[in-house]
């Protein structure tokens, strides 16, 4: 009896390993190409906005634009975490009652890995890079117009942007885990206005 259980356990482990190997071997090249193209387009667009506005606007406006990039990155990080931690069963129940946005939430939840990757990695990382570049522009303005010392100014601006981004994402992750279903539903309901 004991040998039979051990044999069944070994078979179960082998089957699980085979399934994991099959999953690992499947690379979704279409998704990777889409992410690369979308990342390039979003980065280009956001960099263009940053480069065209911050040097031409007053310093306070440049700081607000940089803060908006940081907040956008935090917001999408919250959405990405919410998608992975939300309970799918709630949205199936809501979808069966034809609640607006519930069917979109189910679709997001079924593709949680891709949605999370897009929100956290694509949008979140792009916002981090753009806010860093915007910070460099702000530091250059401070050095040129206010005669601030170069090294302390660049280091302080970079450190402040990093602290705001990391601190904001840390707070956001905790909030996203605790309110995941509410956040995912709110996002899905908003997207459902444009989704066909």
Domain assignment of residue 77, yes or no: yes
How much of the chain, in percent, has pLDDT values that exceed 70?
85
Residue 167 pLDDT > 60: yes
Summarised one tens digit per residue, pLDDT across range 22-36 is 455 567 788 888 888
Q: How far is CA 107 from the centre of its chain?
A: 17
Taking every pair of C-alpha atoms in the chain, what is the biggest distance, in angstroms?
83
Domain assignment of residue 96, yes or no: yes
Summarised one tens digit per residue, pLDDT across range 37-77 is 988 898 888 888 888 888 888 888 889 989 999 999 999 99
43-77 burial by CB neighbour count: b if 16+ within 10 A, else e? beebeeebeeebeeeeeeebbebbeebbbbbbbbb
Domain assignment of residue 18, yes or no: no
Q: Domain residues for 116?
A: 26-191
Domain assignment of residue 145, yes or no: yes
Domain assignment of residue 136, yes or no: yes
Domain assignment of residue 156, yes or no: yes
Domain assignment of residue 75, yes or no: yes
Q: Give me the number of domains the chain comprises.
A: 1
Predicted TM-score of the model (pTM): 0.78
CA–CA separation, 173 and 188 (whole Å): 18
Q: Which range among 46-55, 84-93, 102-111, 125-134 shows the weakest confidence by mean pLDDT?
A: 46-55
Confidence of residue 80 (pLDDT cuts 50, 70, 90): very high
Domain assignment of residue 14, yes or no: no
């Amino acid at each position: 009896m004991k040998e039979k259980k051990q044999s069944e356990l070994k078979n179960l482990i082998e089957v699980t390993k085979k399934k994991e190997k099959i999953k690992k071997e499947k690379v979704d090249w279409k998704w990777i190409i889409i992410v690369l193209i979308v990342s390039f387009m979003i980065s280009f667009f956001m960099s263009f906005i940053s480069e065209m506005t911050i040097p031409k606007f007053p310093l306070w406006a440049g700081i607000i634009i940089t803060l908006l990039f940081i907040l956008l990155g935090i917001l999408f990080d919250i959405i990405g975490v919410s998608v992975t931690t939300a309970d799918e069963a709630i949205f199936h129940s809501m979808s069966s009652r034809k609640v607006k946005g519930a069917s979109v939430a189910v679709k997001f939840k079924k593709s949680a890995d891709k949605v999370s990757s897009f929100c956290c990695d694509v949008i979140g990382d792009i916002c981090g890079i753009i806010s860093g570049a915007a910070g460099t522009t702000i530091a250059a303005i401070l050095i040129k117009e206010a005669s601030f010392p170069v090294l302390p100014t660049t280091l302080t601006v970079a450190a402040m942007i990093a602290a705001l981004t990391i601190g904001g994402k840390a707070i956001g992750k905790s909030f996203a885990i605790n309110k995941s279903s509410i956040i995912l539903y709110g996002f899905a309901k908003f997207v459902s206005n444009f989704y066909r």
